[in-house]
Amino acid sequence: MQEAIESVVAQTYPNWELLLVDDGSTDKSSSIAKGFAQRDPERIRYLDHPGHINRGMSATRNVGITAARGEFVSFIDADDVWEPMKLADQIEIMRSHAELGMVCGTVLYWGSWSGGQDFLVKTGHLLDRPIPPPEALLALYPLGKADAPCPSDVMIRAEVLRRIGGFEEHFTAERQAYEDQGFFTKLYLEAPVFFSSKRWLKYRQHPDSCLTSVRDAGQYASVRLYFLLWLKRYLAAQGVVGPHITAAVERSMWRFRHPALHSMLTLPFRILERVLRRIGKSHILYGRQLFNPTDPAARP
């Protein structure tokens, strides 16, 4: 966590505020966060939930969104690290394209911090130009094949955040692996987005991450189904219609309507994934979709 905070303090762009939102921490994180806030109270604030309870990632991000005073909002999880030019570069892009709702870039999946491998993942299907709605929804995971943004890499216009209502707080507990996808879905439908070729984030890889835990517990299918059912309801409530969107959602639902056939067709991929995981190579093949190689929408 200290590395994450120090990477914000080290930004070349000076006009920032850092909101450290405590989701009921039981380790030393609370005291670390309070210490930074005490040393730089003009720019760093400590927040937590009433009663210091744990409410999950979505509710915790929303606390920060509500308290934020800036024109733009970024997120950084406690185990990730920003590159020094992150804010400066992203603000320049947002200023150059007033229509943008979000910008993010290529991500370094950071394994070398613990003796593993590093690898780069390019976010999005088209780089360095605005992508109008709803193109990103169809092109990016979980409905498309291109890699989705990492929350710690994005910068979002605050007024867009207010319009879409922040994160969906029902994505909690065992469903939190998709909390970012529910949020990005709403954003892709609301405003143009920009996927940069520049790299601004070290995304720390470790065995206790949310995605790894969901995959290893065999919960991926139920997590994905919950998201897809929510997505259908959300699209209907917003009056979002169109043959391409409907077809993409129905294609993603296919595995749940035909589980036996899906299991048979994806058996070779599951065998390959097991082999690659044993030798530590699955991330090279599947990138952002590491935890679900059997999903037709996610396969390369």
Render pLDDT for 122-159 as a digit per residue (tens, 0 to 9): 999 999 999 999 999 999 999 999 999 999 999 999 99
Tell me the C-alpha distance between 292 and 142, whole Å. Answer: 10
- pLDDT reading at 259 higher than 90: no
- Average pLDDT over all residues of the chain: 88
Confidence of residue 173 (pLDDT cuts 50, 70, 90): low
Domain ranges of the chain: 2-211
Q: Would you say 166 and 61 are in contact if contact means Cβ atoms under 8 Å apart?
A: yes
Q: Coil, strand, or helix at residue 149? A: coil
| The CATH number of the domain covering residues in 2-211 | 3.90.550.10
Measure Cα distances from 106 to 118, 234, 282 in Å.
13, 29, 19
Measure Cα distances from 31 to 22, 38, 78, 205, 233 in Å.
10, 10, 14, 24, 41
Q: Would you say 284 and 205 are in contact if contact means Cβ atoms under 8 Å apart?
A: no
> Which of 35-39, 87-91, 111-115 shows the lowest per-residue confidence on average (mean pLDDT)?
111-115
Helix axes 243-257, 220-238, angle to 10 degrees: 150
Q: Write down the pTM of the prediction.
A: 0.86
